[in-house]
């Protein structure tokens, strides 16, 4: 009876390992720092890929809330490290509560933003923040990475953003 139990346990472990291997083979491996292209704006920025963050965050300036058709919208600017500027206007998706590193709570506007990393494109929730005190202007979290990308912390700048057929909205 013990032999059957151990055989089944070993078979289960092998099956799980093979499933994870096949799943991993279908995902693109990326570094902890990558160039990403945001839409709208068509702007390439340096992003830190953070598996410890649920959502993504973008450094934005000149953040102004506006009303459009009875709905809450936000206008803002994004400047990449090459000096290129994109003026973007998006509908406010929701207000998020973020706890700062010192424990101070902060409210941020969250929008839906298209992100291209390599040849993978996805529209996800991104909160707008003053990230000027951080090294990287964008943090890409699990909501974007989940299911498609594997982050290897030992590499960086492995791919260029080359998404085809991205909506220009």
Q: How many domains does the chain have?
A: 1
In a domain, 22, yes or no: no
Distances (CA, A) of 166 to 42, 54, 57, 135, 161: 10, 24, 21, 28, 11
Domain containing residue 78: CATH number:
2.40.70.10
In a domain, 9, yes or no: no
In a domain, 13, yes or no: no
Q: What is the pLDDT of residues 70-124, one digit of tens each?
A: 999 999 999 999 999 999 999 999 999 988 778 888 899 999 999 999 999 999 9
In a domain, 83, yes or no: yes
State which residues form the domain around 142: 29-152
In a domain, 110, yes or no: yes
In a domain, 141, yes or no: yes
pTM (predicted TM-score): 0.80
Max Cα-Cα span within the chain: 71
In a domain, 69, yes or no: yes
In a domain, 133, yes or no: yes
């Amino acid at each position: 009876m013990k032999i059957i139990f151990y055989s089944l346990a070993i078979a289960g472990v092998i099956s799980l390992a093979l499933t994870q291997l096949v799943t991993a083979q279908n995902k693109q491996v990326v570094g902890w720092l990558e160039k990403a292209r945001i839409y709208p704006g068509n702007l390439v920025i340096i992003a830190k890929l953070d598996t410890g963050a649920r959502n993504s965050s973008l450094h934005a300036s000149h953040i102004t809330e506006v009303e459009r058709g009875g709905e809450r919208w936000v206008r803002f600017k994004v400047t990449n490290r090459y000096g290129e500027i994109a003026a973007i206007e998006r509908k406010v998706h929701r207000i998020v509560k973020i706890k700062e590193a010192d424990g101070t709570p902060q409210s941020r506007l969250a929008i839906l933003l298209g992100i291209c990393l390599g040849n993978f494109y996805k529209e996800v929730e991104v909160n707008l923040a003053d990230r000027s005190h951080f090294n990287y202007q964008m943090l890409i979290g699990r909501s974007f990475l989940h299911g498609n990308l594997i982050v290897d912390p030992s590499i960086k700048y492995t791919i260029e953003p080359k998404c085809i057929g991205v909506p220009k909205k």
